[in-house]
Amino acid sequence: MTVLVPILGDQLTRTIASLKGMTKDDTVVLMMEVRDEATYVKHHKAKIALVFSAMRHFAAELEEAGWRVDYVRLDDPGNAGSFTGEVVRAVERHSPDRVRVVEPGEWRVRAAMDEWADKLPCPVEILPDDRFVCSIAEFADWADGRDHLTMEYFYRAMRRKTGLLMNADGKPAGGEWNYDKANRKPPKGEMDAPDRPRFAPDAITREVIALVEDRFGDHFGSLDGFDWPVTRAEAEKAADAFFAERLGKFGDYQDAMVHGADQLWHSMLSTSINLGLLDPLDLCRRAEAAYEAGDAPLNSVEGFVRQFIGWREYVRGFYWHEMPGLADANALDAQRPLPAFYWTGETEMRCLADCIRSTRDNAHAHHIQRLMVLGNFALLAGIDPRAVADWFLVVYADAYEWVELPNVAAMALYADGGRLATKPYAASGNYINKMSDYCGGCAYSPDTKTGDGACPFNPLYWHFMHRNRPALEKNHRIGRVYATWDRMSEDRRQDYLDSAEVVLDSLEPAAAGWAREA
C-alpha cells in the first residue's frame, strides 16, 4: 500500500491533515517547485525565494524525521511546470494506491485539483484544511441568508467557539468584545519599537536566491537584505521576540504610520503563518496568556486575537463563499488603469512613495499602509479592482489569493458593493496626516484642499463621493458626508471636482507586463 501525499508550498505544517494517521512506510510525500505557481502572477522575487527556501527546509526536516520525500526542484529535467503535471508524473513513478491531499488555499488550484481524479489511475482524497478554526462549510452556514456579512458578529461566534478572552460567565474579557477604538493612537513620541530578529540566508536560501535572480530576474522587488524566517524554528524565534518586546504596544499603535519605520509594533509574522510555519490559534493562546499574566494590556491582546479569529478566519470564509464572482466584482464600475508609480515608486506623494518603497524592499507593508494609503488611493482614483488585486497579489510575501482578494476587492475597494465593509474605507489627507508623520515632508499639504499644492487625496475624496453618489447615498453610515457636500457652495464643489480631474489626468498608466507575463 502506497499513498502519495502532495504538500503544497503554503502547507508546511508537520501536523497537516494529509499526514495525520499516515505511517512513514506507506507514504511518499510529494513537494513540487513549479513554474506555474511562480508566474501565474509575477510574484515579488522575495516571495518566490521565501516559498522555495521554506519548502526545501521543510522537506529536509520531514526526511530527517524519517518521511520519504520526493522533492521536485524547479530546474529538474522533465519538470512539467504545474501541480497537475507533477502529480501525474509522480503517480507514474510511485504507482500509489491513492493520492491524499489537503484542499488548497486558492480557487484556481482547487479547480485544477478537482480534475486530478479524472486524470489519475487512482482515487484522490481532498481533505479540509484543519489549520483554520472555521471550516469553509461552517462559514457558509453562518453566511447563508445574511445580507451583510458583518465581521464583528462572526468574530464573536469565533470567540465563543475558541473560548479566547472569554470569562466563565460567557461574557467577553473586560466587558467589551472589541477594543478597536483603543487601537488608533497617532504616532507621537515613543515610536522606537525594538527591531525584529532577522535571519541571514543560509546555504539553502542563498542557492534559492541565486535561482530566483536567474529565472525570475524581471519580477518586481528586491532580494537584497532578504531576512524572512524560512523554518519553523526561525518563525518561533520571531514570535518569541514579538511577544516579549512588541505585543505590549501593538494595540495602541496598530493604525500608526511612520516614514521609514516598516515594522513598528506589528508582529511581522504573516509570512510564516501563511506558509504554515506558525499556528495562529497557538499565537492567540500565547497572547491571551500574556494578558492573563498581566504582561500585556487588553487592547493589544484583543486587537491581536481579533486579527486572527476575526479578520483572518473571516476573509478566508468570505473568499470561498464569494468566489468565483469576487475576482471580477466591480460594484463601483472603476475602470482606470493602475498608475505606473505603484511599480516604480516615483511619486511626490510621500505617503505612497514610502509604502511602495517598503513594499519593494521588504515585500511587506503593514495593514494601515495597505488599506488607508495604497488601497485608499486606488479606491478614490477609481482604479480597476482586477489591476489593483493583481498588484497586491504580486508584491507581498504573505499574499495568497484567499487572503489578498477579500482584503483588496471587498475591504479596500468596495468592489463587492458592501458585502464585507459597511462603508467604503475612503479618507482624505486629514486621516493620513493624523495617523502618520508623512505629510510634514511632503510636496503637498493636507491642509490645502484644492489647486496647486493640495494633497491629492483631498479633491479625490470628494470626486469619489460625488461620482459614486447613486451607489452610496442610501448608506446611512455616509449620509453626513453628502450633507456636508450639499452645504458647500457650487463654486467650492466645482473646485474640488476640477482639482481631482487634474490629479486623475496626471496619472500615467503602468506599462503592461509587470503583474502578468505579456
Residue 350 binds which entry of ligand FAD, ligand DLZ, ligand SF4, none, CB below 5-8 Å type-dependent: ligand SF4
Are residues 351 and 257 in contact, defined by beta-carbon separation less than 8 angstroms? yes
Q: How far is the CB of 145 from ligand FAD (least distance, A)?
A: 24
Q: Is 406 in the site for ligand DLZ (CB under 6 A)?
A: no
Strand, helix or coil at 261?
A: strand
Helices of type H across 114-231: 116-119, 136-143, 151-162, 203-215
Q: Phi then psi for 28, rounded to 5 degrees?
A: -115, 120
Residue 281's CB is within 10 A of a number of other CB atoms, namely 16
Q: How far is the CB of 187 from ligand FAD (least distance, A)?
A: 15
Task: Using the minimum distance from each CB to ligand FAD, give the nearer residue, 10 or 495.
Answer: 10
Task: Using the minimum distance from each CB to ligand DLZ, give the nearer residue, 4 or 439.
Answer: 4
SS3 content of the chain, % helix, strand, coil (to 5): 50, 5, 40
What's the half-sphere exposure (Cβ side, CA atoms, 13 Å) at 216?
33
Task: Using the minimum distance from each CB to ligand SF4, give the nearer residue, 310 or 429.
Answer: 429
Are residues 382 and 336 in contact, defined by beta-carbon separation less than 8 angstroms? yes
Task: Using the minimum distance from each CB to ligand SF4, give the nearer residue, 126 or 504.
Answer: 504
Q: How far is the CB of 315 from ligand FAD (least distance, A)?
A: 5
CA dihedral 223, 225, 228, 230 (to 10 degrees): 70
Mark the segment that binds ligand DLZ (CB under 6 A) among 4-12, 16-24, 215-223, 479-487: 4-12
Are residues 49 and 226 in contact, defined by beta-carbon separation less than 8 angstroms? yes
The order of strands in the sheet holding 98-102 is 68-72, 27-32, 3-6, 98-102, 124-127
Mark the segment that binds ligand DLZ (CB under 6 A) among 27-35, 216-224, 243-251, 470-478: 27-35
Q: Is 106 in the site for ligand DLZ (CB under 6 A)?
A: yes
Residue 34 binds which entry of ligand DLZ, ligand SF4, ligand FAD, none, CB below 5-8 Å type-dependent: ligand DLZ
Task: Using the minimum distance from each CB to ligand SF4, give the nearer residue, 162 or 358.
Answer: 358
Q: Is 377 in the site for ligand FAD (CB under 6 A)?
A: no
Q: Which residues of 488-506 are buried (b: 16+ CB within 10 A; e: fewer)?
A: eeeeeeebbeebbeebbee
Are residues 204 and 56 in contact, defined by beta-carbon separation less than 8 angstroms? yes
Task: Using the minimum distance from each CB to ligand DLZ, give the nearer residue, 276 or 339.
Answer: 276
Mark the segment that binds ligand DLZ (CB under 6 A) among 33-41, 123-131, 428-436, 468-476: 33-41
Q: Phi then psi for 122, rounded to 5 degrees?
A: -130, 165
Contacting positions for ligand SF4 (CB under 6 A): 349-351, 429, 432-433, 438-439, 442, 444-446, 455-457
Residue 446 binds which entry of ligand DLZ, ligand SF4, ligand FAD, none, CB below 5-8 Å type-dependent: ligand SF4
List, in order, residues 6 or more apart from 236 with CB less than 8 Å away: 278
- The footprint of ligand DLZ (CB under 6 A) covers 8-10, 32-34, 37-38, 43, 48, 51, 104-106, 109, 400
- The footprint of ligand FAD (CB under 6 A) covers 266-270, 273-274, 307-308, 311-312, 315, 366-367, 370-371, 375, 392, 396, 398-399, 403-404, 407-408, 411-412
